[in-house]
Structures are given as structure tokens and as C-alpha cells.
Amino acid sequence: MEKMISKVDYTSLTEKETKESIIEVCKNAIEYNVASVCVYSKWVKLVSELLKDSQVKTCTVISFPDGSDETTDKMLETMQAIKDGADEIDMVFDYNYLKNGGDEYELYKDVQSVKRVCSIYSKELKVIIESGLLNDEETVIATRLSIKGGADYVKTSTGKVSVGAEIEKVKIIYDTIRYLGVEDSVKIKASGGIRTKEDMELFNPYVDRFGMGYGSIDSIIKGEKTSSYY
């Protein structure tokens, strides 16, 4: 369980955050030794400052939640977030454009442009493809274009739509990564609807990160404290 917790992006994207709630989230993140704290860009400076003496990274979302912003805007948003202290960027793929028959080259260039900004500052890029709203073929295409564009992680979901992470879609992403021969450089982040220890155990063999709301992790930790977590 401790190993799975260390793979968590401890997330607060409720739009109801306050300075006090962010401070509490960061305090718990350090105690739990999660991978990162994921917040809206307006909180990146504060989170980065609170986490500066820890191993926990600062993560933020770009073009959230629908990925429809212009590429230039995504690049500028990414640059500002990194300047504010973000270590990791979770960019939303323009999945509606894909579903509506959009140009695959434009989607690839969109990812590549944001990756270029991340690379300048040696930051990791996760691309959120919103797999719960894609069919199997679209999931393969979105994964392929994300990888071609330079994604370090392919991430399932924003957590803001009706269908989040699905194990069958994660297996499709997993198989696509291996088919393309990039399993040593591209990882998977499962997010959206993952709330329990059992959910984590289901996805764990296939993923390198979990995107989970801080409340879910708090509940899991409290349950583990009564058994064998510490």
C-alpha cells in the first residue's frame, strides 16, 4: 500500500480551494509521501513554496478540462505555470476535436508544442486524453499522437466527465505503448473515479501514477492506520 501511495498525484481541483485548504493538502502530501500535489495554476506558487523542502512535486493542469484552447495559449499557460514553480504539467488533449474528425497532425503539433516548453525547463508532460469519452480506436489514436508529440505520460481522464478511468481503456493504452516500443520512456497515469484501495489494486499493474482526490487518499490512509500502513 505504501508503494501505491507513493505513485499518487494528490489532487485538489474542486474550484473551492482556499489558502488554508491548500496548506492542509500540502501538509498531508508530505506526511503521506505522495508523488505530487496537483492543483489549478493559481495555486502553483503557494504549493511550490510549501513543498520546496520535500520530495513531493508540484503538478498543475493546462487547458483544463476540455483541451480546446489554442496551442499558443496552452504554451503560454504552461510557461507561466513552470515559472511559478510547477514540476509537472498535465495538459488536456483536444479530444472533442479528435472525435469530430479533426486533423491528426494538428493534434500532434498541439502536444509537441507544449512538450517543447516543458523540455526547455526539463519538466515532465502528462497528456490527458479523456479515454472514457473515446472509443477503442480513438483511444489508440490519442495515445499514439500523445506519444509522437513527446508525452512522458498518457493520462486517462480529467475526472470532470461522466466516465473516468476504465481498466479496458488502460489496457489499450498499455498495449499501444508496447506496440510502439516506447515502454521504457512513456508511462501511464490513471485518474477519474479511482477512490478506493481496491480501485488502486486493479489499475496498479498497468500504471505508474494515480490521479486521486485528496479526500479519497485521506480515507484510505485512515483505514490503513488501523491496520499496517505505518
Residues with catalytic annotation? 90, 155, 189
Of 163, 169, 161, nearest to 206 by C-alpha is 169
CA angle 173, 178, 183 (to 5 degrees): 95
Cell numbers placing 15: 474550484
Report how far residue 167's alpha carbon sits from residue 206's, in angstroms, rounded to the nearest whole number.
9
Q: How far apart are the first and last CA of the chain?
A: 10
Q: Is 195 helix (H, G, I), strand (E, B) or coil?
A: coil
Q: 3-state class of 225 per DSSP?
A: helix
CA dist 169 and 187 (Å) reads: 14
